[in-house]
Amino acid sequence: MDGKFLESEFTGQVAVVTGGSGVLCSTLAKALGERGATVVVVGHSHMDKAQQVVDHVRGVGGEAMALQGDVLSKSSLADVAEATMKAYGRVDILINGAGGNQKGATTSEDLSFFDLPEQAVRRVLELNFLGALFTCQVFGPIMVEQDRGNILNFSSMAALKPLTRTVAYSAGKAALTNFTQWLAVHMSQEYSPNIRVNALMPGYFLTEQNRFLVLDRESGDPTERGKRILDHTPLGRFGLPEDLIGPALWLLSDAARFVHGTAIVVDGGVSAFGGV
């Protein structure tokens, strides 16, 4: 789906990408910018990385800007929306990519399920679910006013099969997938059939949040957990950020104009493998 028919598919559209400074969503933000979209890269604490995405898009002749925002604060999101509308006057695409896991919300030999800190568990649950919900509350009315929009939530294969150790992350992504279905129906029935809502469900992709679980910090070799993951991935490797470009652009394009309220799994076959 990374073909020529998408090269100018997004010209004239404005895409807001939360988590845009992260490994996965920065790749999608660049891909949209390369295909004509104006990109608003929303970051929280790594604004230098968000600016790098902006520089890349501008370097290929596109338009972009970086804005700092907290997806767990509706007032912060409102500021982002106001700045976006002031600069570009519309929002056609919303990618809810802010999320991730924390070591403190992950069980290990040193940290049992019974001792997981309340603050860490709450943070991971809220970031992966409420962050998207609040962002849709803020940007949804803009799309309703336009009578057009496309929302793409970043869920996870963990929503289908809870990952061992990552209790809060798996639960948060399951809630996000459910919310994706709910919001798709709600937007169509209450507001407009021209606003689509879908989700991506990546499998095991290397990110800053999960690297500590699957790669040895010193050698860079797969940990015992990393080896188990690779053994249960039919394609035999971790996902690369570029592997998400085709599925994401398809969901956001008119080629998927009848795809609504669904979650597309991109996991190298993990969810299809029974282990034998």
The runs of H, that is alpha helices, within the chain are 23-34, 47-59, 74-88, 118-125, 131-146, 167-190, 211-214, 224-231, 245-252
Domain boundaries, the chain: 4-203+243-267, 208-238
Nearest to 150 by CA among 158, 160, 142: 142
Q: Assign residue 22 a region: left if phi > 0, alpha if psi is -120 to 50, beta otherwise?
A: beta
> So what's the pLDDT on residue 6?
57
Q: Which residues are CB-neighbours of 180 under 8 A, at least 6 positions away?
A: 153, 155, 197, 198, 199, 261, 263
Tell me: the pLDDT tens digits for 32-56?
999 999 999 999 988 999 999 999 9
Question: Does position 148 have pLDDT exceeding 90, yes or no?
Answer: yes
Strands 64-68 and 93-96: unpaired
Span 24-33, average pLDDT: 97
204 annotated active-site: no
CA distances for 88 relative to 13, 66, 85, 175, angstroms: 10, 13, 5, 32
Collapse the DSSP code of 82 into the 3-class scheme (helix H, G, I; strand E, B; otherwise coil) and give the result.
helix
Catalytic, out of 88, 169, 191, 204: 169
- Rounded distance between C-alpha atoms, residue 133 and residue 153, angstroms: 10
Q: What is the mean pLDDT of residues 213-225?
A: 77
Q: Which CATH code, of 3.30.2130.30, 3.40.50.720, 3.40.640.10, 3.40.50.300, is assigned to 4-203+243-267? A: 3.40.50.720
